[in-house]
Every structure is written in C-alpha cells, then in structure tokens.
Structure 1
Amino acid sequence: MLLGTNLLETPDLELFGVQNANCVVMVPPKEFGFNAETAVDNEFQSQLDLAPEVITQQAMREFDAMVAQLRKAGVQVITFDYPLGDRSTPDAVFPNNWFSTTRDGTFYTFPMACQNRQKEVKPQSLIAELEKSGRHVLRSDSLVDFVDQDIFLESTGVMVMDHCNETIYAALSQRCERSALEEFASRIGYSRVISFQTSLPSGQPVYHTNVMMAVGDNFAVICSEVIPEYERRFVIKSLAKDKQVIDITLEQMNQFCGNILQLETINGSSVIAMSQSAFEAFSPSQIAQLSSHGKLLPFDVSTIESIGGGSVRCMLGEVFLPSRKRSL
C-alpha cells in the first residue's frame, strides 16, 4: 500500500552501502525503567537501587550524548519523540525490535512478545517522522497479526542480517518463532535463513540474537559457545566464507560485545557503534581487528544497558529507505 506518496516525485535511490545504513531512528527513554514483563526471559536485565526519576535523568543523559556523538560522526539520526499513552513503555528506547526498513522503500512492523512492548508499535507516527526527515516510505507491510497466534518475531533484535549475502541469522526463542521468521524472509526475498538454538548457563536461550552476534560488511562478531556444537560449525562456516569472524566469550557477551552495529557516514566511511562496557571488554587484538573495519564509537549507556538488558545496537533502528530528491 502506498502511503502519502506524490506520484510526481521520484525517490532518489542513492547508493549507500548494501550492508550498512547511514541513518538510524532513536527513541528517547522518557518512560525508561525496569520492565518486569521482559525480565522473564531477559537475563541481561538488573534492577538498580535508584529512584525512578534518577533513572530517567541518567538514561536521558546517555541517550542525548549518544545522539550528539553519532551526528558528529556523520550518521543521520532521526529522533522519534512519541506521545505518551495510557500505559507506559519502559523499553521504547529499543525501537529496533518493532520495525525495520528495506532499500526498496518498505516499512515493516513486527509482532512483539510482551504486551507493554506491543504498545511501542506506532507505524503511522514513525512513518510521518521518516517522511518529514526526508526518508521516503513507498509501502508498508506488517507481521503483527502473528500475535493473535502467540507467534512472535522481534525484528532485528532476533534477526541479524547479512544483506550482502541475503542471509538472515536467528537464534530461536519465544521471541523468534520459525514460521514468522521464514515468512519475513520470503517477503523480502532472502533465500537463506540460518536459524539455530542457543543455551545460556541457566539453560535458557539467548533472548535476542543481536546480543550474541553482529554482522558487518566484512566481519562478524559471535559468541559461538552458546550455540550447540552440531550447529555451531555450520554457522561459523557460513560467516567465514567472506567475513573475518571475531569469536567472543560468554563473559564478553555479558558486557554486550555482541551488541554492536556497523554504520555508514555521510561521506561513505564506516563506523562501529558499541557501548563503553563492550569496548572495554574486547581484547586489544579484537579492538585492532574491529578497527580495521571502521572507526569505533563507544558510548556510555551503562544505565540503559544495566536496567534494560539491551545496549547500543538495540537503541538503533536502521533506516535503509531512499532519500527523496529535493528541489534546489
């Protein structure tokens, strides 16, 4: 379905990198706090002995600093300051779980597992903000109806995309159900879906794939030890075909070393966004390896990642939509 399109205008399908977005959506954490609903299967969350207003203030400072530093580095940031509803959305700062976009101008929305996170899904408001910011939405599509079947697929939280090879990597969990995963892959025309099991020391699966792996244009970071051995070899072999594989430990994963994202700047160079805790947990040799693929941008988001159980990559909703041609 076409949304607000002037048929006399032609979108400029500018040639930014296939793998990396040069624009991201970020949502201010104005209702941020510990989410008891998501804590059921997110072992990365923890409660801090701080007053709610202090938590909000600290999270907002971390958010504002990250936005400013990304813009300074040359990445377009669209802040989506949504209106408050009758039910709080403590995890709205992690927008990459409910929407994604593709280079052909399609805006997708996804079925979220937790009820208070389903309240974050505001496609029309975000589409309006994207259009206002010069990004053109040609059509929208939704998998949200899967919720009625108790089937969930939390967008790029559970799907790590290798766009160069049209491949989706996904750790199966209650937030990533195979039927919805394969349906989405079919809709975007990706022929390879590599899904696998994971197991933490508790016996529970990793709640989101993007906390244990990341894929860039020529590299991949992965905590392979959480994947059963019979599947691990296949996943690593697939990644290693054309990427430098950087294997991280369980301890490094717990510091969000897997929750990083390569982006493109306005001048076409690459940067890699990560948290300060992840940066400090990487070994010197791993830092050298990553630095060969882009300038490293560490951000202090310690409040957000401690309480929210997600880090920098979770805060970035990639925008691959084309830019509209502007009149001079």
Structure 2
Amino acid sequence: MITRDINAFMDFARGCPADFGPATARAAFLVAPDGFALAHESAQDNRYMAQADGFDAARASAQHRALHRAFAATLPTICFAGDPATPDALFPNNVFGTAAGRYVVGRMRHPVRQREADRADIRGFFAGVLDYAEIDLSGQPHACELTGALVIDRARGLGFVGLSERCDEEGARLMHEAFGLRASLLFDLAPGEYHTNVVLAVLAGRAAIVCPQGFADSAVPEAIAGLYAPHGVRCSAAEHAAFVGNAIALTPDTVWMSAQAGRALQPAHRGILEAAGFTVATVELDAIEAGGGSLRCCVGEVF
C-alpha cells in the first residue's frame, strides 16, 4: 500500500505485527566532513543552513570524530573519507540506504549532492564487501533522497514520506518498492521544510517524535503520534528548531540526538521516551548543524 489516505494507512498500520525485520541497525556508517563549507545549491531549499561565515570546518571535524567514537562504543561504525567537492557528504543517509541483502542509491535534487552517488568506495563496500545487491535510483529523474525524505518503521515495514522539492510522488513510489515496505504514507511537508527526518523520528518501532509545525496538514503528525501512543512526543516550536525531531535509535535502548536537541528536550518529553524504554544520549554537534542537518542526518544504517 502507498497512499495519501491517512485513515486507510492507519487502519492498515495498526494491524501490522512487528515482524518485518530488525527494529534497529546492525551497524552504522558515516562520511567525514572533509572540506565542510556552505553548499550554495543545497542552501536554496534548506532554511536550517548557516551563512558561509557560520561554518567552522575544524570544529565540525572534531565533533564528527566524537560522534564516531560515541557510536562505536555501541555498535560497529565505520567512517568513509570526505571530499571537499561534496561538502554535504557528511549526511550520507540521503544518498545510500540499506535493507536486508541490498543497498539503495538515491537520486538527489542538487548536482552538488548527485556527485555523492558516484562514490566507488561506498558502492564497493556494500556490493563487494557485504555482497549486497544494488538498487540504483540515482540515474532516473525523480528526486528521492532516501531516509532524509523517508522515515521507516523497520519493525513493521512502514514508511512515512514527506513530499517536497527533495522527493516527489514518483520518487516516493520508487523508494517504497526499493525498501520493500508493506505500506507508505505520503504527505506534504510544510513550506520551508526540506526533509521528513528533521520533523519526524520513529524509534525502534516503539515510539515517535513528531514536530507538528513541519507538516502541511496537522492531522498527519497527530495520527502518527497516535499510532505510537502512549509514546508519541509532540515537539514544541523550540524543540523543533533545536533538531529534537532529528533523532535516531541505533539500538533498542538508546535514542541519540545532538546536545542542542537534548538541552531543548522538555522533561515531560524525556519522560515519554524513558517510559518507552529509551535512554537519551547526546553529542555536541553545533558546528555540524550549521550545515542544515543534525545527528540523524549524519548516520547511514546497515540492515
């Protein structure tokens, strides 16, 4: 099922058992922020990006290394080299995604990011080292920025796809098929939002963080929060701006978000996550957040 009908999707989703696959990844991968700087093309539709003088490459690199160390203490995590010709490459989950036995290459909207899909080393890792089959969407014309545009409940095989200039309806269909999902809900993001994973996180199939102001139709985030009740966090405007919605559960017991997000997280909302069985872990990423994304954007998952 792939639909815009909220009621039809929710009726189906409520009946889905949590047997689609592992709820969290078995490993993670990162791309170093080498040459980290303002990507002017990406800034056209990413309101979260700082101005050029707001980028501190050395600090971003140090924070990225700290992120790698933190993840590596939890699950196997590898980091590929960056490339100054692709300054957004530290957000690899938009370009490369995985499902059982296969990897997907997305189609980015901006040419500066389309170059990332040509990385022979990352493709070689998935195809040659892990022996994953390839599904390459990068050459077709429809934007589909993978797990930036698509938030997946891996336990149930459910997709939540926010449409914007970074993902159109055909791109959503291609991703739905590539990841082999049971059902996907399509909806419009609010004007000025570029990726779903900035305004929505589904955590190990047990909880959800939603930023209602990031959705064009307020009924959508309310329905998603309800699907994961009583573990649905509805973010305030301040939490939204601090990237609380850009969180991820890499293991069944921990939610990762940036330190800025952790400071903004309301005690009541932290309590909802704890009641769902999660500890909140944070890493300082303010320099990286100048690039218009936060912790979840940095993480590629290996399933």
TM range (shorter): 0.7 to 0.9
Corresponding residue for 2:10? none
Structure 1's unaligned 5+ residue stretches are 1-14, 321-328
Counterpart amino acid of residue 81 in structure 1? A
Corresponding residue for 1:215? 202
1:109/1:123 contact within 8 Å kept: no
**1:238, distance to aligned residue in structure 2 (A):** 4.5
1:95/1:317 contact within 8 Å kept: yes
Corresponding residue for 1:113? 109
1:133-152 alignment runs, 5 A limit? 136-146=130-140, 149=141, 151-152=142-143
Question: Equivalent of 2:264, from 253, 270, 281?
Answer: 281
**1:209, distance to aligned residue in structure 2 (A):** 0.4
Superposition TM-score, scaled by structure 1 size: 0.80
Secondary structure at 1:121 match in 2: helix
Q: How many residues align?
A: 282
**1:234, distance to aligned residue in structure 2 (A):** 4.6
**1:206, distance to aligned residue in structure 2 (A):** 1.0
1:167/1:191 contact within 8 Å kept: yes
Counterpart amino acid of residue 88 in structure 2? D
**1:130, distance to aligned residue in structure 2 (A):** 4.8
1:80-95 alignment runs, 5 A limit? 80-82=80-82, 84=83, 88-95=85-92
Task: Tell whether 2:284 aligns with 1:300.
Answer: yes
Query: Over residues 53-109 of structure 1, what are the superposed CA-to-partner deviations in whole Å (9 max), with x where a residue is unaligned?
Result: xx221111000111111112x221111125x4xx71111110001010002x10110
**1:259, distance to aligned residue in structure 2 (A):** 0.2
Task: Tell whether 2:215 aligns with 1:227.
Answer: yes
Counterpart amino acid of residue 169 in structure 1? F
Task: Tell whether 2:96 aligns with 1:99.
Answer: yes
Percent identity between the two aligned chains: 26
1:107/1:141 contact within 8 Å kept: yes
Task: Tell whether 2:292 aligns with 1:309.
Answer: yes
Moved more, 180-189 or 18-27: 180-189
Instruction: From the superposition, tell whether residues 29 and 140 of structure 1 become closer, same or farther in structure 2 (CA, over 3 Å).
Output: same
Alpha-carbon distance in 2 for matches of 1:253, 1:154:
21
Cα RMSD between the aligned structures? 2.2
Secondary structure at 1:37 match in 2: helix
Corresponding residue for 1:75? 75
1:4-83 alignment runs, 5 A limit? 18-47=22-51, 49=53, 55-72=56-73, 74-82=74-82
Alpha-carbon distance in 1 for matches of 2:131, 2:143:
24
Counterpart amino acid of residue 190 in structure 1? L
Superposition TM-score, scaled by structure 2 size: 0.86
**1:19, distance to aligned residue in structure 2 (A):** 1.9
Structure 2's unaligned 5+ residue stretches are 1-18
2:189/2:196 contact within 8 Å kept: no
Secondary structure at 1:49 match in 2: helix
Secondary structure at 2:23 match in 1: coil
Runs of at least 4 residues of structure 1 off by over 6 A?
Answer: none
